[in-house]
Amino acid sequence: MRFQVHSIPQAIADEVRRTRVSPGYGHPAHLELARGTGPCRCCLRQFIPGQEQRLLFTYRPTAGQSLNAPGPVFIHAEHCEAWSGEGFPPGLRGLPLAIEARAAGSRVTALTTDHEHAPETRIAALFESGAEWLHLRHAEAGCFIAVVVA
């Protein structure tokens, strides 16, 4: 099936790089040398630990309605291009992913941390079972990565 993965919008990533504060919250964004692979929530590529600088800030996904919880996310400290295009971003392959199915009112209607099947298979199954959109999360850290829409 066809689907699109939406990263943090380019304008928001650029704003955080310019202002060094979390949009909508005003907390300072934290600059550090990457200690893990992330991924970057803008370009959806994994960080090179010990080599790339990253910014940590609080972000609230805007898809759906108001029950989307804010949480910590990382982006590259230097400019990178927000992911766009159809299909599953190659930079996310190999990461432990939890996929949340969301429906009206931003209710979580299903959650999978299955690693045996390809992400495309898991995404298709959740949409076929009635999800309106999906959230990708890091299965170990729990943090928001991206929104998936059909």
C-beta closer to Zn ion: residue 43 or 145 = 43
For every residue of 38-52, DSSP letters joined together read ---TTT-----TTT-
Q: Among the candidate windows 50-58, 77-85, 103-111, 114-122, which touches Zn ion by CB under 5 A? A: 77-85
Beta bridge partners of 40: none
* Residues in contact with 71: Cβ distance below 8 Å, sequence separation at least 6, in sequence order: 58, 59, 60, 142, 143, 144
In the complex, the smallest distance separating the C-beta of residue 72 from Zn ion, rounded to whole angstroms, is: 16
Stretch that binds Zn ion, among 28-36, 42-50, 52-60, 134-142 (CB under 5 A): 42-50
Question: Is residue 43 involved in binding Zn ion (CB under 5 A)?
Answer: yes
Binder of Zn ion out of 8, 12, 29, 40 (CB under 5 A): 40
**Residue 55 binds to Zn ion (criterion: CB under 5 A):** no
Q: Which of residues 99-138 bind Zn ion (CB under 5 A)?
A: none
Using CB under 5 A, which of 6, 17, 76, 122 touches Zn ion?
76
Q: Does 95 bind Zn ion (CB under 5 A)?
A: no
| Distance from C-alpha of 145 to C-alpha of 65, rounded to nearest angstrom | 17
Residue 22 φ then ψ, to 5°: -75, 125
Q: What does the angle CA 33 – CA 37 – CA 41 come to, to the nearest 5 degrees?
A: 90
